Amino acid sequence: MIENLYKNLEIFYNKVQKPFAGIGLVISDKIEGLPIHSVYNSNPSFENETLVDILIKLSNYNNYYHDGFHVLSSNLEIKCISQYFFPVPPKELHLEINNNTGVRYLVAKIGSLHPNIICTAIISDNYGISIFKDGVEVKAKKYD
């Protein structure tokens, strides 16, 4: 599943028009109990569109739904879009924000520790692709 997600994010990065709004993803089959809350009171519908095409639309700064994290199932189907994602870090975790990554990176890393989350991912045009599992960056590609 992580390899499939990574391949989709690489295709996304190569197809999307730059600059783009960064993308945050939460992969989970158990949405209930996740530390999320909808940013908006509505959701767009995406019928017969690939994950890459949906992410391209959502990453456009002019798209109403470009903010927040998007929740996908383990089959990489969109379940929720534009979610506030607010995982609580374990007390023993040392939090350090790197100037090259930022808060979205840290939130994805911490969020991947949640028991109902399979993994998290972020992609930005200034940092690249990062996929996290159990608090560890397990797959990454940096772009110039």
**DSSP calls for 43-78:** -----S--HHHHHHHHTSTTSTT-SSEEEE-TT--E
Check residue 144 and give its pLDDT: 67
What's the pTM?
A: 0.92
Map tokens 């019928």 to a residue.
Answer: 47
Task: With a cut of 50, list the residues of the chain below it in pLDDT.
Answer: none
Check residue 102 and give its pLDDT: 77
Task: Measure the CA–CA gap between 92 and 15, rounded to whole angstroms.
Answer: 40
Check residue 96 and give its pLDDT: 67
Map tokens 């197809």 to a residue.
Answer: 15
Task: Measure the CA–CA gap between 142 and 134, rounded to whole angstroms.
Answer: 21
Question: 2-142 is classed in which CATH architecture?
Answer: 3-Layer(aba) Sandwich (3.40)
What residues contact residue 22 under an 8 Å CB cut-off, 6+ apart? Answer: 59, 104, 122, 123, 124, 125, 127
Check residue 126 and give its pLDDT: 79
Single-letter residue type at 65:
Y
Check residue 99 and give its pLDDT: 59
**Per-residue pLDDT tens digits for 85-117:** 999 888 887 766 665 677 888 899 999 999 999
